């Protein structure tokens, strides 16, 4: 497959939609609140209150997306986001079991939610923590993703000692290139409050320059 190239140059002076924007900085009270809401969502899922679980997780996922630099200094937030994403996928998966036909719209939402887990956490899935149902959904989703094409995300930082993070995960210094599944990726550099968004399509190479 031929891979096209999109150059996304991100500088403070740029007026493009790909401009960096300021990462939200959470107070200690806000961090505690995020943890409490996610724990409430997990409890709701355990009690089979799946709609309530989704409602608890959704705003916290959005908030953490806007707080990428916080996940560098508060690694617990990185793990909390994973909990919220995994249990969101599981909640939709359980709701889909009541649909006719069995694999309806909610089943697709469950798949896309688990795909978000895979894009954000490419390391080995924690089967012990999330259980066999989550692991089975993870494996089916991974197989589905692997059946399609991939793209490439290249991050080039101007600072020679820049620490690069993608979706809260440290990936390298100054220059980083990796093959990724299509989707949205959040990029930031340690020591700054700026974060960037890169959308990678199938068969596309996106070069993101951090000036």
- pLDDT one-digit tens code per residue, 105-118: 888 999 999 999 99
pLDDT at res. 164: 93
How far is Cα 154 from Cα 175, in angstroms, rounded to an integer?
7
Regarding whether 45 and 140 lie in a shared domain, the answer is yes
Last residue of a domain, one of 146, 172, 190: 146
Residues 11 and 77 both lie in one domain? no
Please compute the mean of the pLDDT values over residues 203-207 and round it to a whole number: 92
pLDDT at 112: 94
Q: What is the pTM of this model?
A: 0.86
Whether residue 117 sits in one domain with residue 193:
no
For residue 88, pLDDT over 70 is answered with yes
What's the total number of domains in the chain?
2
The phi-psi region of residue 134 (left if phi > 0; otherwise alpha if psi is between -120 and 50; otherwise beta) is alpha
Query: Is the pLDDT higher at 34 or at 192?
Result: 34
């Amino acid at each position: 497959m031929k891979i096209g190239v999109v150059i996304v140059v991100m500088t403070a002076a740029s007026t493009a939609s790909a401009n960096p924007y300021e990462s939200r900085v959470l107070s200690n009270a806000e961090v505690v609140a995020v943890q409490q809401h996610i724990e409430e969502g997990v409890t709701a899922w355990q009690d089979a209150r799946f709609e309530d679980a989704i409602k608890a997780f959704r705003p916290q996922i959005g908030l953490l997306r806007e707080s990428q630099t916080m996940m560098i200094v508060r690694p617990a937030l990185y793990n909390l986001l994973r909990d919220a994403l995994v249990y969101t996928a599981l909640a939709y998966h359980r709701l889909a079991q009541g649909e006719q036909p069995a694999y309806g719209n909610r089943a697709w939402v469950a798949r896309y939610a688990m795909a978000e887990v895979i894009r954000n956490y490419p390391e080995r899935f924690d089967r012990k923590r999330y259980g066999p149902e989550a692991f089975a959904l993870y494996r089916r989703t991974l197989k589905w993703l692997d059946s399609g094409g991939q793209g490439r995300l290249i991050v080039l930082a101007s600072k020679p000692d820049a620490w690069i993070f993608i979706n809260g995960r440290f990936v390298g210094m100054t220059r980083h290139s990796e093959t990724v599944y299509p989707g949205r990726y959040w990029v930031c550099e340690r020591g700054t409050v700026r974060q960037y968004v890169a959308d990678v399509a199938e068969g596309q190479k996106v070069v993101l320059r951090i000036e």
